[in-house]
């Protein structure tokens, strides 16, 4: 296994605020890792440190085989970074934006590289369109084209699909998997659980601490959550009553169904026992990633990462 990122003890504070608290990150080359956590948990700060935009207070290891953070400038040249907000020039065309980025990187054959990027991301027919006139989905494609025009080995994406429609998100993720097949390592922060499920592995950060990581299946398994689903007429309307029972940690309607979860199986089964009658049907189901991450948010992390075996 070749690690594209192998960094330990990564920390960053802003005054009294500890944004990232001694976390370690190991990501295999060519893998897509989903970086999840609530707003303000430290995801963006971590991404910016890894690509050399922020200097860490502590941390050591390697990124792309280069010493971190001493060789930050060399790491930066081999990394593509896509910010949360569209950061290209809205009064320039798609073509002009990409040409500008190519020149910033000092690339040769600028025109050829721009043409290649336009073709790969389906932007050729729109090349003369002003960036400011693009929809959210097309701006996303342009931002991705700019992030990879210099052929990076590492791609860091900070909530890249926020505010775009489902088709645009699916097209974006198809492109991300194509890039991973070419050997590019991807670390992407997201709030969408369906996107997390498309990652090879996921990492969850809360209050600056990494509290869970592994494949989606591993993170679900090691969460310790037990979930029962109630189906039947108006089962979702049981939410308030069930939530008041001892041992119930989470209650979440899913359409007309109801998910009830706890880490204490015995207490959970006792809690739902009064409702095990017609017209409702109860069945144990695997917790969803959403169940797990809400559970982790409520736990507030506080401790070392629990790595799935």
CA distance 16 to 104: 36
Instruction: Report residue 255 CA to chain centroid gap.
Output: 25
**Three-state DSSP class for residue 89:** coil
Please choose, from the candidates 125, 122, 132, the residue with its C-alpha nearest in 3D space to the C-alpha of residue 97. 132
CA distance 212 to 206: 10
Please choose, from the candidates 164, 191, 157, the residue with its C-alpha nearest in 3D space to the C-alpha of residue 40. 191
In the predicted structure, residue 304 carries a pLDDT above the cut 80: no
Tally of CB atoms within 10 A around 224: 14
Q: What is the DSSP string of 213-233?
A: EE-HHHHHHHT--EEEEEEST
Q: Where in the chain is the domain with CATH 3.30.70.250?
A: 220-303
Span 34-78, pLDDT tens digits:
999 888 899 999 999 999 999 999 999 999 999 999 999 999 999
Distance (Å) of CA 129 to CA 95, 96, 122, 303: 8, 10, 13, 49
Domain 3-215 has CATH 3.40.50.300: yes
Span 112-153, pLDDT tens digits:
999 999 998 999 999 999 999 999 889 999 999 999 999 999
Span 280-293, pLDDT tens digits:
999 999 998 888 98
In the predicted structure, residue 301 carries a pLDDT above the cut 50: no
CA distance 146 to 220: 35
Q: Where in the chain is the domain with CATH 3.40.50.300?
A: 3-215
40 in the Ramachandran plot: left (φ > 0), alpha (ψ -120 to 50) or beta?
Answer: left
- Architecture of domain 220-303 in CATH? 2-Layer Sandwich (3.30)
Cβ neighbours of residue 283 under 8 Å, at least 6 residues apart?
228, 229, 231
* pTM of the shown model: 0.89
pLDDT of residue 274: 93
Distance (Å) of CA 236 to CA 51, 102, 159, 207, 268: 45, 54, 31, 32, 17
- Contact at 8 Å (CB) between 185 and 27? yes
Span 228-247, pLDDT tens digits:
999 999 899 899 999 999 98
Which residues pair with residue 186 across a beta bridge?
32, 155
pLDDT of residue 300: 63
Q: What are phi and psi of 155, to 5 degrees?
A: -125, 120
**Cis (ω within 30 of 0) for the bond into 279?**
yes
Tally of CB atoms within 10 A around 263: 15
């Amino acid at each position: 296994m070749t690690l594209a990122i192998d960094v330990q003890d990564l920390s960053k504070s802003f005054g009294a605020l500890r944004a990232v608290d001694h976390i370690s990150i190991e990501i295999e080359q060519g893998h897509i890792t989903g970086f999840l956590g609530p707003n303000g948990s430290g995801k963006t700060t971590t991404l910016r440190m890894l690509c050399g935009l922020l200097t860490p207070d502590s941390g050591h290891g390697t990124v792309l085989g280069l010493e971190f953070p001493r060789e930050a400038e060399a790491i930066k040249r081999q990394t593509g970074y896509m910010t949360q907000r569209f950061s290209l020039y809205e009064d320039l065309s798609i073509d002009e934006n990409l040409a500008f980025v190519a020149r910033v990187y000092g690339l040769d054959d600028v025109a050829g590289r721009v043409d290649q990027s336009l073709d790969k991301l389906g932007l050729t027919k729109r090349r003369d369109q002003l960036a400011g006139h693009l929809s959210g989905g097309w701006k996303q494609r342009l931002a991705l084209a700019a992030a990879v025009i210099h052929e990076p080995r590492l791609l860091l994406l900070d909530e890249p699909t926020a505010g775009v429609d489902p088709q645009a998100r699916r097209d974006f993720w198809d492109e991300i998997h194509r890039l991973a097949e070419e050997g590019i390592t991807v670390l992407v922060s997201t709030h969408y659980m369906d996107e997390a499920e498309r990652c090879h592995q996921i990492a969850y950060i809360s209050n600056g601490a990494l509290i869970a990581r592994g494949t989606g299946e591993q993170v679900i398994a090691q969460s310790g959550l037990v979930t029962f689903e109630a189906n039947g007429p108006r089962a979702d309307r049981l939410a308030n009553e069930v939530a008041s029972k001892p041992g119930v940690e989470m209650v979440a309607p899913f359409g007309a169904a109801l998910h009830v979860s706890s880490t204490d199986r015995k207490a959970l089964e006792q809690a739902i026992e009064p409702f095990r009658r017609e017209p409702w049907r109860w069945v144990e189901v695997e917790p969803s990633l959403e169940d797990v991450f809400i559970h982790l948010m409520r736990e507030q992390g506080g401790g070392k990462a629990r790595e799935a075996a």
